[in-house]
Amino acid sequence: MLKLNDLKPVTGSHKTGKRKGRGTGSGNGSTAGRGNNGDGARSGSYTKFYFEGGQTPLTRRIPKRGFVSPFKVVYQIVNVGNLESLELDVKEVDVEVLYNNGLIHEVDRPVKILGEGDLTKSFNVKVHSFSKTAKEKIEKAKGKAEVIIRA
């Protein structure tokens, strides 16, 4: 019968740790694998992951270029011709309908309709932005172009 005092790990599954600083005969005596004296030999010392041994770090060697505005709005683009390919009996096209039909990939990002292609079906389109030609083509097909405001 197995008892608690008989429990031991499977042979080879547990490695015994190196006993550092226990004499020169151990191979890890003297400086205990920390090299000669300096900050690294002291307890509590550490180097930051981006430290490159004192040479000028990569982040400072490479020049800065350009500017990215944090307020820039990046639209998902859908062309008027793509709306024509919707084979549903839907009269109202919004972000959800475009997402469900695979015309856009994210529901959270704003959508803009551009005027490439022709439109014969009449749709009530509700998205965040329209180009001038897209708005004209939608209204020419007796549809409505409504701008919705992002939350």
pTM attached to this predicted model? 0.58
SS3 state at 29: coil
**CA–CA dist 92, 84 (Å, integer):** 13
State percent of the chain over pLDDT 70. Answer: 99
Query: Would you tell me which CATH number, out of the four given (3.40.50.2000, 3.30.1540.20, 3.100.10.10, 3.90.1150.10), belongs to the domain 76-147?
Result: 3.100.10.10
| Burial of 95: CB neighbours in 10 Å, binned 0-12, 13-18, 19+ | buried
Task: Give pLDDT tens digits for 10-39.
Answer: 999 999 889 988 988 888 888 888 888 888
- Tell me the pLDDT band of 151, cut-offs 50, 70 and 90: low
Task: Give pLDDT tens digits for 52-73.
Answer: 989 999 999 999 999 999 999 9
- DSSP 8-state symbol, 123: -
Average pLDDT estimate for 116-122: 89
- Tell me the pLDDT band of 137, cut-offs 50, 70 and 90: very high
Overall residue count recorded for the chain in this entry: 151
